[in-house]
Structure 1
Amino acid sequence: MTTWQSIINLKGNYTSEPIPIPISADGVLSKVSWESVESIGSKIVVQTRFTRDNLNWSEWQNCINGAHIPDVVEDVGFYNVSIMFRILFMRNTYDEIPEFRDITFYFEPILLFDNKGDKSCSPEIWITKQGNGDFSIINTSHNNEEFKFKSLIHGETVFVDNENQDIETSLAVTYRYKDFNNNYLSFPVGKNILRVTGDADIKFRYQFTLLQ
């Protein structure tokens, strides 16, 4: 709706082009942050919206600086997503000049382990390391509990039977117990949002426990 304030050029806006996000994952952890200068009597509002099919867009939502991106839910699949942002400028007089400097979007892919059983699940896991270094899985939905190995070798495959607390490696005459933080995986009932650090191919094998 046209207002007197917009007619006399005290309001303005900028709308970005669609920005494709090259991530395919069970979900993402997200954050939006920006730098701006708002003089007394002026205001800047940042809004975002997104699409999963390049046709149907969500409604514009106001953002909070340093918080997650509105409507981007951690445990919802993140595929073929594009995002747009809009900057709204408002001021009361011509002497007030709000300044918008930059904006940053952060997306971190997550794994979703949905335990549909009636008891905690302790899966078997194979970890094939890409590049030398550490590897960890952090359960962000359960007290940030961390399962971690240090100093794995490129191409090495580590097998962990979390139920029986057994660890094997493809390397000869090598034992990885000393490089493990002794926190075996145990996923509570429901959705477990997992943050993975360290480049590796991983595979789970598990069976849900149902109470009769």
Structure 2
Amino acid sequence: MTSWNYLCNLKGVYVSDPIPIPLNVDGAISNIIWNQSVSGEARITVQTRTSYDGINWTEWRNCINGGNIPDINEATYMYNLKIVIRIIIESSNHSSLPTIQNDFTLTFEPVMIFENKGNRNCEPEIWITKLGHGDFSIINTSHNNETFKFTNLVDQELLYVNNENQDIQTSNPVVYRYKDFNDNYLSFPVGKNVLKISGNAKIKFRYQFKRIQ
């Protein structure tokens, strides 16, 4: 049934075309921001829904300006993901019509999940192949943003770090990377560790979960 607000042009709905998200990751930290002007009893509601095939969609979920995108978190499978945005604009009178700018910003920061299934901290070995010159870091967002960081790495350099033994080796001859390290070795607490990677590189872990007998 058509509502009185619709008949009086006091309510409008806009639905976007499906927006493909060009990421191939196992999860991401997301954010949605928009500009709006609302006064009096006017109201703007922004909603999203997601799909992996463009046919089967999640339910519409309300968004918070500056908050996470509903249905997307660090454990959300991101391959072939699509998002649709719906905007609902309502007002009780024509003197206080809300407005919204056409400048939605969606951001996605890829993350890795390392789940320590032991009952002691896990200190893995890690191989880092740097792609391009520059810095590389791993930030554990689940535990006070603890940061493991190297600076001044060079393209195609292979770096090996044994975090338990605090041993660092590099494929570059006559180079010692201890001086370029922040001296914060990887130590993953028990449970889920959400890791942000900064710097372009290929990485490989080797580890064994530890348990107190």
TM-score by length of 2: 0.95
**Cα drift, residue 155 of structure 1:** 1.1
**Cα drift, residue 54 of structure 1:** 2.5
Task: Please show how residues 181-192 of structure 1 align to structure 2 within 5 Å.
Answer: 181-192=182-193
**Cα drift, residue 10 of structure 1:** 0.6
**Cα drift, residue 76 of structure 1:** 3.1
2:152 equivalent in structure 1: 151
Find the residue that maps to 1:95 and give its secondary structure.
Answer: helix
1:199 equivalent in structure 2: 200
The worse-fitting range, judged by mean Cα deviation, of 37-46 and 56-65 is 37-46
2:169 equivalent in structure 1: 168
The worse-fitting range, judged by mean Cα deviation, of 159-168 and 77-86 is 77-86
**Cα drift, residue 210 of structure 1:** 3.2
For residues 43 and 140 of structure 2, what CA distance do their matches in structure 1 show? 38
Give runs of ≥4 in structure 1 deviating > 6 Å: none
1:78 equivalent in structure 2: 78
Please say if residues 28 and 111 of structure 2, whose CA atoms lie closer than 8 Å, have aligned partners that are also in contact: yes
Q: Say if 2:117 is the partner of 1:116.
A: yes
Please say if residues 49 and 61 of structure 1, whose CA atoms lie closer than 8 Å, have aligned partners that are also in contact: yes
Letter in 1 for 2:88: L
1:56 equivalent in structure 2: 56
1:28 equivalent in structure 2: 28
**Cα drift, residue 78 of structure 1:** 2.2
For residues 47 and 184 of structure 1, what CA distance do their matches in structure 2 show? 42
Please say if residues 74 and 112 of structure 2, whose CA atoms lie closer than 8 Å, have aligned partners that are also in contact: no
Percent identity of paired positions between Structure 1 and Structure 2: 56
Find the residue that maps to 2:95 and give its secondary structure.
Answer: coil
How many pairs are equivalent? 212
**Cα drift, residue 42 of structure 1:** 1.8
List alignment gaps of at least 5 residues for structure 2: none
Q: CA RMSD in A?
A: 1.3
TM-score by length of 1: 0.95
Find the residue that maps to 1:117 and give its secondary structure.
Answer: coil
1:11 equivalent in structure 2: 11
